[in-house]
Each structure stands twice: as C-alpha cells, then as structure tokens.
Structure 1
Amino acid sequence: MDFRTVAELVEIAESENLKISEVMIRKEIETTGQTREEIFRRMAEQLDTMEKAVQRGLTEEIRSQSGLSGGDARRIRKYIEEAEVLLSGADVLDAVSRSMATSEVNAAMGTIVATPTAGACGILPGCLFTAADRLGSDRETMVRALFVSGAIGYCIANNAFIAGAAGGCQAEVGSATAMTAAAVVEMAGGTPSMSAEAVSIALKNMLGLVCDPVAGLVEAPCVKRNAMGGAIAMVAADMAMAGVKSVIPTDEVIAAMYRIGRDMPVSLKETALGGLAATPTGRALERKIFGKTKE
C-alpha cells in the first residue's frame, strides 16, 4: 500500500479492486501497527469533532475577538430557509453555510479539525455533512470519506504544499477543496479514477490563490474562501461523477501548484504584507485591532 502520488494511489485501488479509503486504512495499519478498529475509531472521533463545530457555528452566536468574522453561516442558513435561492436546490448553499460555520468557530478559538490546516478547516466537514444528508450516507461511509481526503492530502503534502506560508492559499484552501471533492465522489459511489479527476478539477480552479489574511488573522478573507471552496468541491465532485475529465493529469496539477507557490512572492504567502491585507481598509482594520500595521 505504498504510494506517494495520486496516480500510484489510483493504480493500487483499481488493480486490487479497492476503494481509496480502504487503501488508506491499510496504509495506516502498515505504518502505525495499530488495529483497523483503533484506526477507524480515532478517525470517527475526528468526525464527531467536525460535527460539533458545524452545529456550533450554525446554532450559536459566534463572533471572533477581533470582530472580523462571525454570524455569516447563520445568515446563509436563514437565507436558504426564507428566500428564493438562485441555485436550483439548496445543497451547495448548505455546504457553504456549514463550511463557514466551522471556519467561524475556528476564528473564535473553538475546537476544529485541521483539514489539512486550521485556515481551511471548514471545507471538508461542510461538504461531508451536506453530501451525507443528500445521499443518506451512514456513519461508516462518512468516516471512510475522511480517509479518502487524508490519502489525497498525503499525496499533495509529499509533492507540493499544504501551508499558506509555503505556497499561498492555493496550498490550504486549494488542497482542502481537492481533498473534499475526492471524498465526496467516493461517498457518492464514484470510482478511484473519478475521485482523482475531482481533485484535478477542484485544484486547478484554485491555482494562484494568494494567502493575504487581513491583520494577519485567519478570518478575512479566509472564512469566505472556505465557503467558496465548499461550493467548488461539490461542483467538482458532480462534474467528475458526470464523467468530466481534466485535460491535465492530477499529479501534474499538483506539480503546477508547487511551482506557482515556489514562484509566489513572500508578500502573498501568509505574511499580511500584500493582497487584501495591504488595502487601505485592510490596514485600517489592522490598526484598529492591534494599534499598528506591518511595514
């Protein structure tokens, strides 16, 4: 079960007639020496933590200490319930509201699961619970989806970045979006190849995304980027399930993200020296919160 690229992962899965989740579970067993039951139990605990964060963000008055974020997840949920939404059905907006809910809990110093980072923590749970509602998925299927996301994250981390400080927001929200798209595909009964296509479709629409947190806080524009990441992940999963293929293979998309991140200036990699953080409003908010701005 040794793999480092998405192509190798898919080859193992399809040659042995396994799901991606099963490949990752077996890899964990080999790597850690733990039993299947223990590995599955620990992942189920992560799912429980995600669910609590989603519910807290949707039901409580969440507000970060800085005041930059909080309450938008509930606004979206109210909009779904009371307005004539523009999208056909509310599934994408459900994913958006849940993704924002988790991200807002993170900004308010609540407990979340970094997937793959705290700054991108909303996308996977937001889409996972939305897809489960839509598909009628049981708990085991949802836990297995987390192993799918872990397998894709493992490949990305080994060949590119998952940290905004290293590769920009494409490495955080982009990676989370790709991981989530693959997970949702397996939940929907798609093949390992379809999961790989979903990764490509999702990630290439995040290439070049900079990390420019206002006042250096993981709030603005981070929370709303989690929201859009959730929307992209769901659409990418549906596209892959429809048989849409990426012109550029998955591992080449990941390699492109690495090169873009390597070439990205430091000012656009989590330093709050450029992008939205360097706008007049961004600097004014920074002064209001901290009493000074970065040079």
Structure 2
Amino acid sequence: MFNRAEEILQKCKEENKSISDVIIEKEMESFGLTYEKLIEKMRESLEVMKLSANAGLEKEVKSVSGLTGGNAKKIEDYKNKGKTLAGNFINSAMAKAFSTAEVNASMGKIVASPTAGASGIIPSAFLSVKEKLDLSDEDLIKGLFTSAGIGEIIAKNSTISGAEGGCQAECGAAAAMAAGALVEMAGGDPEDSFNASSFALTNIMGLVCDPVAGLVEYPCALRNSSGVVNAITSADMALAKVQSLVPFDEVVDAMSKVGKSMPAALRETAMGGLAATPTGKMCSKKILG
C-alpha cells in the first residue's frame, strides 16, 4: 500500500516502471486478482465513461429537476461550426465533461471518478486525448490506474468529499487524477505526472462547494467543464518540464488544511456561495418548495 506520492515515485525509480504499472501490481496483490481480471474490471468502467461522455453530444440530456441540461449539445454544436476561441480539442473536452455531468443529473449511469459531482473530468480528458494522440483503449485503461493511484493519495491525506473540503476536493482531485494520467499517456515520466497533478490542485485550491438547491447540477457541471481544461493545461505544463515548486504531497497537505478552514456554508450545505444568491434561493424554493 502507498500512503504518499514520494513512495510511488521511489518505487517507479527503483524498478524503472510507470505509475500505472506500480498501481496495477499493488491492486493485484490487494485484491488477489490476476492481471487479466483486473484489466477487465477497469475496462467495464471505461465503457461506462464512454457512454456518459457521449450521451449529451447529439441530444439534449435534461436533469430530473429541470434546473440544468442541454449544454453539452450546445458546446458540441458550437464546436462544429469551426469558429471557437479555444479550438476544437478544448471545446470537445468541455462538451464531453458537460455530457457526463448531465447524465449524472438525469439519474443516468456514470463512474464516480472520484465522485459523482466530478465525474465528467476524467472521461472527457481521456477520450479527448485518445482522439488527439490516437491512443488505444488499453492505453486509457492503464491511465485509469494511474488516476486511481493519484486519487488514493489525495483521499488518504486530504479528502475527495465536497462536504468535507469544498469543490477543490472533488473537481480539484478529479483534475489532478486526470492530469497525472494524461502526462503518462503522452509519454511523460512519473515525476512529470505528479508535477501535473500538483498544478491541477494548485489551480483550484480553495474552491468552494455551493450547489444551488443542494443538487449536484449547478455550478457542478460548469466546474466539470473547466476542470478538464485545468487537467489538460496542467499536463501540458508538466510535459514542457515546468516544475512544481511545492511537491505533490505538500500540495495535498495544504489542500487538506484549506478545506478544514472553510466555513460550513461553503462545503456543500447550499448555505453559501452561489446557492445563497437571490437567484439560488429562488431556484431552491421552486424545486424544493
């Protein structure tokens, strides 16, 4: 078992292995599964991710409450017009992130990676980079193990719960998990991966969790969309060999302290932030009575 990123990095260096290789070996030992069985279980998660990330691109997916929905298709249609500011790649990733968030809000099937509220970031990042770099499903499956290893370190030393640490713990953790994996899939080394994860958490440090009407819809879907962009830019910085001044383990420790310092109103209680605006209160009253 690994408790800190430095332990994973040491193992990678000693055995000249990738993060995914090290995590796969650890999982095989922990659960008593063969390599083939473990890969197959992760393949099942990948297939669910594919479905949720693409469901909202051709037809509008509306939430049960009616509060949100249809934005994945809007971004996809906008992208297809060829006149975006950020380009097709970024807009495609944003659309896929919205799609999974909308599937979640409509009570559809998603992979909570690491949570339902942040479930759009990893699928959209992985599937967009798959297209760009012509990766195989096997590459993505290994990347998911890299993400899992990074997420486990965050969960052990901080939190992945918005109720405990704000949205930095959900969309921040998901972006960090995605960024580190993207680096590995793009050919970076383990140190680069943890630099990318550090950047992703640093960029979102202190983000509050303020769901309107207490629902995992708004601004959650928006933050999934911006979260995948955070992951991609963080990966690019690391692949360019930009170094994180503060090591990943220390960034996670800082994130934990910041989360504990947040007032309860800013930790998924729907008592502060956007949820407490006049419009937020009006939506809450309309939906919940």
Tell me how far apart the structure 2 counterparts of residues 53 and 21 of structure 1 sit (CA, whole Å). Answer: 24
Aligned-partner SS, 1:137: coil
Q: Say whether the 8 Å CA contact 1:164–1:170 is kept in structure 2.
A: yes
- Deviations along 1:239-291, whole A, 9 cap, x unmatched? 10000111111111100000000111111111101111000000000011111
What is the aligned partner in structure 1 of residue 170 from structure 2? 172
Q: Say whether the 8 Å CA contact 1:58–1:101 is kept in structure 2.
A: yes
RMSD of the alignment, in Å? 0.8
Q: TM-score when scaled to structure 1?
A: 0.96
Q: Residue type of the partner of 1:50? A: M
What is the aligned partner in structure 1 of residue 224 from structure 2? 226
Runs of 5+ in structure 2 lacking a partner? Answer: none
Runs of 5+ in structure 1 lacking a partner? Answer: none
Tell me how far apart the structure 1 counterparts of residues 232 and 11 of structure 2 sit (CA, whole Å). Answer: 25
Shift of 1:83: 4.0
Tell me how far apart the structure 1 counterparts of residues 125 and 12 of structure 2 sit (CA, whole Å). Answer: 23
Tell me how far apart the structure 1 counterparts of residues 67 and 238 of structure 2 sit (CA, whole Å). Answer: 36
What is the aligned partner in structure 2 of residue 8 from structure 1? 7
What is the aligned partner in structure 2 of residue 56 from structure 1? 55
What is the aligned partner in structure 2 of residue 27 from structure 1? 26
Shift of 1:61: 2.1
1:42 paired to 2:34: no
Shift of 1:59: 2.3
Tell me how far apart the structure 2 counterparts of residues 91 and 55 of structure 1 sit (CA, whole Å). Answer: 15
What is the aligned partner in structure 1 of residue 89 from structure 2? 91
Q: Say whether the 8 Å CA contact 1:93–1:231 is kept in structure 2.
A: no
Tell me how far apart the structure 2 counterparts of residues 21 and 98 of structure 1 sit (CA, whole Å). Answer: 24
What is the aligned partner in structure 1 of residue 16 from structure 2? 17
Aligned-partner SS, 2:170: helix
Shift of 1:57: 1.9
Tell me how far apart the structure 2 counterparts of residues 67 and 83 of structure 1 sit (CA, whole Å). Answer: 30
> How many residues are treated as equivalent by the alignment?
289
Q: Sequence identity of aligned pairs in percent?
A: 48
Matches within 5 A, 1:117-132: 117-132=115-130
Shift of 1:13: 1.1
- Deviations along 1:159-211, whole A, 9 cap, x unmatched? 00000011010000000000000011111011000000000111001110000
Aligned-partner SS, 1:66: coil
Aligned-partner SS, 1:209: coil
Shift of 1:60: 2.6
Tell me how far apart the structure 1 counterparts of residues 88 and 29 of structure 2 sit (CA, whole Å). Answer: 41
What is the aligned partner in structure 1 of residue 250 from structure 2? 252
